[in-house]
Chain A
Amino acid sequence: MSALLNHRLAVPAVLIVFVALLPLVLPSSFYLRIATLVWISAFAVIGLNLLMGYAGQVSLGHAGFFGIGAYAAAVLPAQLGVPGILAVVIGAIVSALIAYLVGRPILRLKGHYLAVATLGFGILVAMVINNEAWVTGGPDGMTVAALGIKKLLKSAFGLKVKTAELWYWIAGAMLVVGAWVAVNLVDSPTGRALRAVHDSEIAARVAGIDVARMKLVVFVVSAVYAALAGSALALFNGFITPDTAGFLHSIELVTMVVLGGMGSILGSVVGAAVLVVLPQLLTMFHDYEHLLLGLLMMVFMIFLRAGIVPGLRSLIAGRGAA
């Protein structure tokens, strides 16, 4: 059983089954939309988890990359007439480039200094989006043109799909592929080097690992994950606001990583699910929404310090041994 669970393909396989079966129990397209949001967030969280859980580097500004992806998908087609899918690719490439350029100096910093530097980066991105209203629509946000997949399906195959269903499957497929790439990366020599960096940077360096390069590689990879998730969210919602790049969104992403479990790919999905679904439930409480959200964040972190998935795993493992 545990050998099966530890297999490289176990996580993507579990996700495929879950993504495929979930629509059978979801009563309406409203729930389908929430599930789609979970998959999209989880995709970004997997990338951030590679950085935090495997390389041990915190980023309090990852929503910046998310925002770059989202606004690339929105701005490029609207202003320059770039086809939607190409805009997504450009967004990912731009994110990677920025991560590469910013990452070199930033990743030399440690601990809280790294936190404040990434925080500053995220705030800069959010500020540009907020202030350059002539391109981005400013604080009001902007609409995002659809990719045209629905039309294509209809004209080519005569298929009629609802937007909610279409994006459920796109986001679900993204998640599975993202998780598959991530587990392969973790299992590769790069992944092992990363874990060495996490345990002790100096020891890793002594063992001959190019620590700076390793950190930069994951930083760029995690930025691409965030950008692709941002594009997906923009296209799925058809509308985007600067909040997607804001500080609170960065914190949300970090919380999803830690809540699900650092260094656990499946944990990323669980963490995203909790933090996407929870506010939906809390909207019932109107005025008490923030109060409860803050309270639950504290309670989760105090009692599930290692995160939900690792916590459950050690619980099961403990039982099995006894």
Chain B
Amino acid sequence: MAEFLQFAFSGLTVGAVYALVALGFTIIYNASDVVNFAQGEFVMIGGMATVFLTALGVPIPVAVVLAILGAVGVGLLLHRLAIEPARGASSVTLIIITIGASIFLRGLAQVVFDKQFHTLAAFSGDTPIVVGGASILPQSFWVMGGAVVIVVLLWAFFNHTLIGKAVLATSANRLAAKLVGINTGMIMSLAFALSAAIGAVAGVLVTPITLTSYDVGTLLALKGFAAAMLGGMGHPLGAVVGGLVVGLLEAFGAGYLSSDYKDAIAFVVILLTLFVLPTGLFGRASVERV
């Protein structure tokens, strides 16, 4: 039982990060139909910028805020300089543009930061908390708690604010949203800023546990994308559930089956799920017009 709990907690911790990355995918996809493979780079920027700012003597809270603002700036530039000029391009072309952006940002991080692994001091110390025989790092609670707070805030934003509803309206039908006077261009910028911020927060929270380096983004983007598809593309709740499921599958797969193949286990389950439910767990079947 202790073993089971241990795996469950580590799965939920990584899963929370995947969920946040998947949420970032979903928000941008809903607003602009773009699958943003540079999503993992926001996580990297959050972690790396915080590490380097604190090394310069900036107090942690300030460093975190600056890192998030930096990621938001990158997100806005990405939208303005790379996505906006390619408006109307095919979805494969847009995917390649975001992958180009991801390679570019990684290259930039290599020059601006360095190629080493870095860590941050855990926010509330390193003394593990023992729950039912399983020991959990306090930082895990920060990650899981942070994810819960972000999900609740997003829910409130989308359901109880005018701008949030405008985002939802834009994702439901862009033309109709424009017709009722919503500035859809602004909404798209907002979506990029929002998912950059979410990614950066995830990066800051998880760095004390998993370390960070200039190239952590690629794998996170792949896992986040897979999680978003598992949940059903464009479905925020699906993204969160998908992320947690991928995290848990990895942890249990690594614990009970083979740590070499933990990534494989997650992907096999995703493949099998898609064979049964071709539009993910929460996705709806789409109707194609001829």
Q: Which of B48-56, B81-89, B169-177, B195-203 is found at the contact surface with chain A?
A: B81-89
Residue pair B270, A201 in contact (C-beta under 8 Å): no
Give chain B's interface secondary structure class.
helix
If A127-B263, A203-B290 touch, whether A301 touches B229 (CB-CB below 8 Å) is no
Complex contacts, B225 vs chain A, CB 8 Å: 116, 119
Give chain A's interface secondary structure class.
helix
> Which residue on chain A has the smallest CB distance to residue B100?
A297
Q: For A291, give its contact among B85, B90, B99, B107 (CB under 8 Å).
A: B107
Question: Does A26 count as interface, using CB distance less than 8 angstroms?
Answer: no
Q: Which of A38-46, A75-83, A103-111 is found at the contact surface with chain B?
A: A103-111
If A110-B278, A124-B268 touch, whether A297 touches B97 (CB-CB below 8 Å) is yes
Residue pair B107, A301 in contact (C-beta under 8 Å): no
Question: Does B121 count as interface, using CB distance less than 8 angstroms?
Answer: no
Question: Does B161 count as interface, using CB distance less than 8 angstroms?
Answer: no
Produce 1/0 per residue, B80-120, CB < 8 A to A.
00100110011111011101111111111011000000000
Q: Which of A141-149, A170-178, A219-227, A251-259 is found at the contact surface with chain B?
A: A251-259
Say how far B286's CB is from chain A's closest CB, in angstroms. Answer: 8
Kindly count the residue-residue contacts between A and B in the assembled complex, taking CB atoms under 8 Å apart: 132
Q: Which of A27-35, A180-188, A282-290 is found at the contact surface with chain B?
A: A282-290
Q: For B267, give its contact among A123, A201, A288 (CB under 8 Å).
A: A123
Contact residues of A with B, CB < 8 Å? 52, 58, 105-106, 108-113, 115-117, 119-121, 123-124, 127-128, 131, 200-203, 206, 247-248, 251, 254-255, 258, 262, 287-298, 301-302, 305
26 residue pairs of the A-B complex, CB under 8 angstroms, read A105-B271, A113-B233, A113-B274, A115-B95, A119-B222, A121-B271, A123-B263, A123-B267, A127-B261, A128-B264, A255-B99, A288-B111, A289-B107, A290-B110, A292-B107, A293-B100, A294-B103, A294-B106, A294-B107, A295-B100, A295-B104, A297-B100, A298-B97, A298-B100, A301-B97, A302-B89
Add 12 more A-B contacts to A113-B278, A131-B260 (CB < 8 A): A108-B278, A110-B286, A116-B270, A124-B267, A124-B268, A127-B260, A287-B110, A291-B107, A292-B107, A294-B104, A297-B96, A297-B100
